[in-house]
Structure 1
């Protein structure tokens, strides 16, 4: 199995692309889903956020107020860095657990939806290919405003907090243009799926995995025989 990274900017349509992959029976591991999971009350990241940012970013029932926290960090680089330090390790642990499960299921490849892939630099060494979803700047801003019911100023702060789309596109193996309608995007994803399914990278990964398991097995046998005497 190999891993394909999916990223882009806020409001560009990563979730839509993920849903198209899922409809084609390709597992998608979503960082945003894991992000919500790791900040559930009582979890390690939840406790660290409460300690670092205080009660103002929580509701009375203990649930994280994501909007309040977002307003806080998108206007402060240092606070955003601190939040990432708290949450990212926990998010990536959950994602790797999910990836391991899909590996055991025998999938050729999976997609990891990683909004901050290039910003964080984490996970890049695990990815076989990277897909970036892009659109026109005015479309992106409009979608962010509509989706989050935000003011233009708040929406711009969220867009500005991420790496420019042009830079992400320049780093990607594949770029999907989501400036037109859904059918146009679906055609691009369908073509990309054909390309990815034609790859033999999963055999290389399976050989590497089997070789690693055999090495560990022989090491255990050797140590057992050594200490048995």
Structure 2
């Protein structure tokens, strides 16, 4: 199995009851919650995008548990025999900490005007607020040279879907999973050989 890094332009979600959720409420207060108990993305976003220090705090609270969850799920899919796993990493190209472990990197791109309009429509932001949030991230155009594959999501959903299907076909046809699978089989064979040797000694 090999890893594919996926990134785009904005967003993150933390579910109630998780350690990261409790830490966010502790540091930012109950004012960032909706009546349902879910995080109020607009309120939290207004805080962290206006204060870089708050944004760094939020990242420090959410990134470690997210990485642990990704590792657990990746190991699970590896044991199930999947050929590749896509890791959704919003700050993939900003931090570049994970790129060394990835076989491919994929960028979901859309033109700046479309991105701005979608962000405003999704979060109900004013033009200055939306521009401020986009300015806090590396522009998508600057990420293009860093990505192995670019999916242009500026147009229709069907256009993006067709691009994703073509990418899936390329990844499925790839033999990039073979080295990792070979190493895993060699390790498994070594463990079994060792266990068999210990078993024979115990019964001799």
TM-score relative to the length of structure 1: 0.76
Question: Structure 1 residues 52, 196: closer, same or farther in 2, change over 3 A?
Answer: same
* In structure 1, C-alpha distance between the alignment counterparts of 2:181 and 2:91, rounded to whole Å: 28
Bigger relative CO (Cα 8 Å, ≥ 6 apart): 1
String of CA shifts for 1:16-74, please: whole Å, max 9, x gaps. xxxxxxxxxxxxxxxx4xx423xx23x32233223322333234665433321111001
- Segments of structure 2 that go 5 or more residues without pairing to the other structure are none
Are positions 1:55 and 2:55 aligned together? Answer: no
Q: Residues 5-154 of structure 1: matches in 2 within 5 Å?
A: 5-10=5-10, 32=12, 35-37=13-15, 40-41=16-17, 43-59=18-34, 62-154=37-129
Secondary structure of the structure 1 residue equivalent to 2:177: helix
* Aligned residue-pair number: 203
TM-score relative to the length of structure 2: 0.85
- Shift of residue 225 of structure 1? 10
String of CA shifts for 1:148-185, please: whole Å, max 9, x gaps. 22221221122122111122111000111122223332
Q: In terms of mean alpha carbon deviation, does 171-180 or 60-69 score higher? A: 60-69
Q: In terms of mean alpha carbon deviation, does 187-196 or 51-60 score higher? A: 51-60
Question: Structure 1 residues 217, 71: closer, same or farther in 2, change over 3 A?
Answer: farther
Do the aligned residues in 1 keep the contact of 2:23 with 2:61 (CA within 8 Å)? yes
- Shift of residue 206 of structure 1? 0.6
Larger radius of gyration: 2
- Shift of residue 75 of structure 1? 1.0
Q: Quote the RMSD (CA, aligned, Å).
A: 2.7
Do the aligned residues in 1 keep the contact of 2:14 with 2:39 (CA within 8 Å)? no
Q: Which residue of 2 aligns with 1:193?
A: 168
- Segments of structure 1 that go 5 or more residues without pairing to the other structure are 12-31
